Amino acid sequence: YVTGYRRTETGAASCGSSLIAPNVVLTAAHCIGSLNFVSIGSHYRSGTKDGERIKVKQAIKHPKYNAATTSHDFAILILEKPSKFPPVEVSFDTVAPGTPTIVRGWGRTSSGGVTSEVLLEVGVDSISNDQCAKLLTGYTVNEAMLCAGGKLGEDSCQGDSGGPLTVETNGTAKLVGVVSWGIGCAQQDKPGVYSRISIARDFIEPYITTSPTAVPITTNVPTAAPTTAPTAAPITSSAPTAAPITTIPTVAPITTTVAPTDAPTTVSPSKCGGCTRCFYPTLNHCFPPAYTQTICATYASLGAYWCGN
């Protein structure tokens, strides 16, 4: 589901993004401009070695996006055709301070440094908006933002804007934030700032549930209204173009296309990684409940199989 946002079909990704329905991608509003293609299912920042590339048909910024403060930094990309890769589950729940989150991207591995040619990931813990505002004095931190990180050498950086911030449980990733902005990269006590997905349900959810080829990938109703205790977000530069970095970067699992197989059948629990629904072993991903056995069969060509009863 991690998606590169490119100027040309084979060129390098300038921003990150996330596949949230077969023909819908979520990114940052400040990334919208001269970028025209997305790469999906690719391990690489550029080229055609794996994954697929699809032209963007339409880009829609959040109506409340404010370029001056980078508030409501969301944009929807409508693709010319559906992707063959499974989308990420979108969560509209709030995330408590201290929640472990993961950010992924191809951005710089240090402030002003070189970009990564392969997809990297780093873990960052969420912090409250109150704490974030104190650490980022002089900058706007509002209810549409969530902060994470603040540890030396662990952050997002330039080039990761628009990319995913996820909470992951039992192998299932849930999208809770979009890389937005920050002060430099990976500085001590300078957390990254993300666009908080729980604040943008009215904008995002219709594109998930009405996507013409999408299985609805909705999540639980938020347990509480967004407060000043948001979810986490990696640091970027003062010109918001963040990208995850880490002192010991690990490669995020992205795969190439798998040869078609038979429709998924029930398999041994030992092969399901604890998943009791549709399981995608290559990415160790357990699909959300909306993916029935019949729907799971449509992903058999990617190696998915059914782990339910």
Q: Is 271 helix (H, G, I), strand (E, B) or coil?
A: helix
Q: Is 24 helix (H, G, I), strand (E, B) or coil?
A: strand
Are the C-beta atoms of residues 182 and 190 closer than 8 Å to each other? Answer: yes
- Does the annotation mark 73 as catalytic? yes
Q: What is the dihedral of CA 220, 225, 227, 229, to 10 degrees?
A: -20
Are the C-beta atoms of residues 162 and 31 closer than 8 Å to each other? Answer: yes
Q: Which amino acid is at 218?
A: T
Catalytic residue among 14, 17, 18, 30: 30
* Unique residue bearing structure tokens 């549709």: 278
- Does the annotation mark 72 as catalytic? no
Catalytic residue among 14, 161, 180, 237: 161
- 121 Cβ partners below 8 Å, 6+ apart? 102, 103, 104, 244, 246, 249, 250, 251, 252
Are the C-beta atoms of residues 13 and 39 closer than 8 Å to each other? Answer: yes
Q: Is 248 helix (H, G, I), strand (E, B) or coil?
A: coil
* Unique residue bearing structure tokens 């990696």: 234
3-class secondary structure for 67-96?
CCCCECCCEEEEECCCCCCCCCEECCCCCC
Catalytic residue among 17, 18, 72, 73: 73
- Does the annotation mark 30 as catalytic? yes
Number of alpha carbons in the 13 Å side-chain half-sphere of residue 141: 30
Q: Which amino acid is at 60?
A: I
Catalytic residues, by residue number, are 30, 73, 161
